[in-house]
Amino acid sequence: MKYAAIFAVIVTLGIFANLVHESKMLSYLSSDPRACINCHTMTIHYATWEHSSHRNRATCVDCHLPRDSFVNKMLAKARDGYHHSVAMTFKTYGPNLRISSDAAKRIQDNCIACHQKAVSQMMATSALYEKAADSTVQMGRRCWDCHRGLPHGTMRNLSATQNNFSVKVD
What is the separation, in whole angstroms, between the first and last Cα of the chain? 46
Enclosing domain of residue 152: 31-164
Q: How confident is the model at residue 163 (pLDDT cuts 50, 70, 90)?
A: very low
In a domain, residue 67? The reply is yes
**By percentage, how much of the chain surpasses pLDDT 90?**
19
Q: DSSP state, 88? A: H
In a domain, residue 126? The reply is yes
CATH code of the domain containing 104: 1.10.3820.10
Using the CB atoms, write b or e for 129-155: b if 16+ within 10 Å: eeeeeeeeeebebbbbeeeeebbbbeb
Look up the pTM and report it: 0.71
**By percentage, how much of the chain surpasses pLDDT 70?**
79
In a domain, residue 51? The reply is yes
Q: DSSP state, 28? A: G
Q: How confident is the model at residue 2 (pLDDT cuts 50, 70, 90)?
A: very high
Tell me if 105 sits within 8 A of 95, measured CB to CB.
no
In a domain, residue 169? The reply is no
Residue 123 or 75, more confident: 75
pLDDT of residue 150: 78
Residue 66 has pLDDT above 90, yes or no: yes
In a domain, residue 158? The reply is yes
pLDDT of residue 24: 82
In a domain, residue 8? The reply is no
In a domain, residue 39? The reply is yes
Q: Which of 59-63, 95-99, 119-123 has the lowest mean pLDDT?
A: 95-99
In a domain, residue 23? The reply is no
Q: How many domains does the chain have?
A: 1
Residue 79 or 124, more confident: 79
Residue 12 has pLDDT above 50, yes or no: yes
Q: Which of 48-57, 69-78, 116-125 has the lowest mean pLDDT?
A: 116-125
pLDDT of residue 143: 83
pLDDT of residue 62: 92
Q: How remote is the C-alpha of 29 from its chain's centroid?
A: 13
